[in-house]
Amino acid sequence: MTDQMRRITLARRPSGAPVPEDFALQTGPVPAPGADEVLIEVTHLSLDPYMRGRMDDVKSYAPSVGLGETMTGQGVGRVLTSNFDGLAPGDTVTGITGWASHAVLAGAETRKLDPDMPPSTALGVLGMPGFTGWVGLTEYGAMKAGETLVVGAATGPVGSMVGQLARLAGLRTVAIAGGEEKCRLAQEVFGFDAAIDHRAHEDARSLRKAVAEAAPDGVDIYWENVGGKLLEAVMPLMNTHGRIPLCGTIAWYGGVAGDGIDHLPGVWRSILVKRLKISGLIVFDHWDRFPEFITEVAPKVADGQITYLEDVADGLENAPAAFIAMLKGGNTGKQIVRL
Ligand SMILES: NC(=O)c1ccc[n+]([C@@H]2O[C@H](COP(=O)([O-])OP(=O)(O)OC[C@H]3O[C@@H](n4cnc5c(N)ncnc54)[C@H](OP(=O)(O)O)[C@@H]3O)[C@@H](O)[C@H]2O)c1
C-alpha cells in the first residue's frame, strides 16, 4: 500500500467543453476508515457524461462538485482495511469513490462484486450505464417484436445495451454512431441491423434521409442519448404512438446550442400529431430494480448473448484527458480509467 492518496479535483468551472486546466491533481495522506467504514484502493474508475453537469454550479437532480473537491464518480477497488461486518481485506467492491486512488466509504454503501466477472464490468455493462439501458427500456420502451428502435451513441455502454436488448426482443435496431469504425462495431459486435455515421451527414435533413432508409417502416422507439442533429433527424420519422425514453442530450452538454431552440416548434408539434410518449429517465429513481437487472442480464453477459466494449485509459493523471475526449466521441465503448 502506498502512503499517499492521489485525487483529481475540480480546479475551476468549465465554460463550454472542459479543458485540462479545469482539473488539478492533488496528493495527500491516505484517510483512515471510521466505524462501519472501509478503506479501498481504487483499481478502476468510471468516466461518465453526467459528470460534465456536476462541474457546473447549477441546480440539478444531483449536487454539483465544489471547487477544490474531488471529482465525483464510481470506482471499483480492493478493500485494504475493513471496520464493516461482511467485508474483509482483499474483497473487491464498487462504490462512489470519486476520481481518487483511495476512498473511505461506508461499508453499507458499497457492493461486493462477483469474483467471476471482470471488475470493470461493474462500471459499464453490469453497472450504472447498462442498468440505465435495461431499466429505461423496461419502464418506458414498451418494446414489441417487429418494431424499429433507433439509438445514438450506439457503441457506448448505454446505447449498446439498448440495442442488444431490443435485438433480443425481436426489434429492428438502427445505430447512429460517430465514424466508420464505430458503425462497423455497432453491426459486427453489437448486432445492429443498420448503422449510420452521423459525422458523414452535415445536417439533420441529410441524416434523416439515411435513418429513413435504415428504418423503412418508421421509428417506434427513439432512445434519446444525444439531442442536437440526431433528435431533429429522427423526430419526423416517429410512428404514431412512438416512445422516446429521454436518457441524455450529450450534444448540448457544453451549453444548449441554438439549433435546439430554433426548431423546438417542429419537434413539439410532432409530439402532438404522433401522440408520442416521451419519458424523462433518471437512473437513480430506479435503483430498487438493480438486483432484478443483475439477475436477468449478468447470465446473458456471462454466456455472451450480451457483449460490451471498454476503452481503458491508464493512470489517474490521465482521467481528465480521457473525460474530455469522451465528451467529443473519443471513446470506443465504456470509458474506464485503470489505476
Ligand atoms: N438519464 C440517466 O440516468 C443516464 C444514465 C447514464 C447515461 N445517461 C446518458 O446516456 C448517454 C450515453 O451515455 P454513455 O455512458 O453510454 O456514454 P458513451 O456513449 O460512452 O459516451 C458518449 C458518446 O456520446 C456521443 N456523442 C458525443 N457528442 C455527440 C454529438 N454532438 N453528437 C452525437 N453523438 C455525440 C459519442 O459517441 P459517437 O462517437 O458514437 O457519436 C460519445 O462516445 C449520455 O447522454 C449520458 O448522459 C443518462
For the segment 135-180, what is each residue's pLDDT rounded down to a tens digit? 999 999 999 999 999 999 999 999 999 999 999 999 999 999 999 9
Domains and CATH numbers, the chain: 4-123+309-338 (3.90.180.10), 128-283 (3.40.50.720)
Q: 313 CB under 6 A from ligand 1? A: no
Q: Are 195 and 177 in contact (CB under 8 A)?
A: yes
pLDDT band for position 264 (cuts 50, 70, 90): confident
Q: Whose CA is nearest to atom 38 of ligand 1?
A: 178
Index of the ligand 1 atom closest to the CA of residue 247:
1
Grid coordinates belonging to 136 = 429505461
Q: Are 133 and 141 in contact (CB under 8 A)?
A: no
pTM here is 0.96
Measure 203 CA to ligand 1 centroid, in angstroms.
19
Index of the ligand 1 atom closest to the CA of residue 159:
16
In this prediction, residue 249 carries a pLDDT of 93
The beta-carbon contacts of 290-296 under 8 Å, at least 24 apart in sequence, are: 290/131, 293/130, 293/131, 293/134, 293/135, 294/126, 296/134
Index of the ligand 1 atom closest to the CA of residue 333:
20
Grid coordinates belonging to 79 = 478493500
For the segment 42-62, what is each residue's pLDDT rounded down to a tens digit? 999 999 999 999 999 988 888
CA 308 to centroid of chain Cα atoms: 13
In this prediction, residue 258 carries a pLDDT of 45
In this prediction, residue 259 carries a pLDDT of 45
Percent with pLDDT over 70 in the chain: 97
pLDDT at 212 over 80: yes
Cβ count near 217 (within 10 Å): 11
Percent with pLDDT over 90 in the chain: 90
Mean pLDDT within 114-139: 96
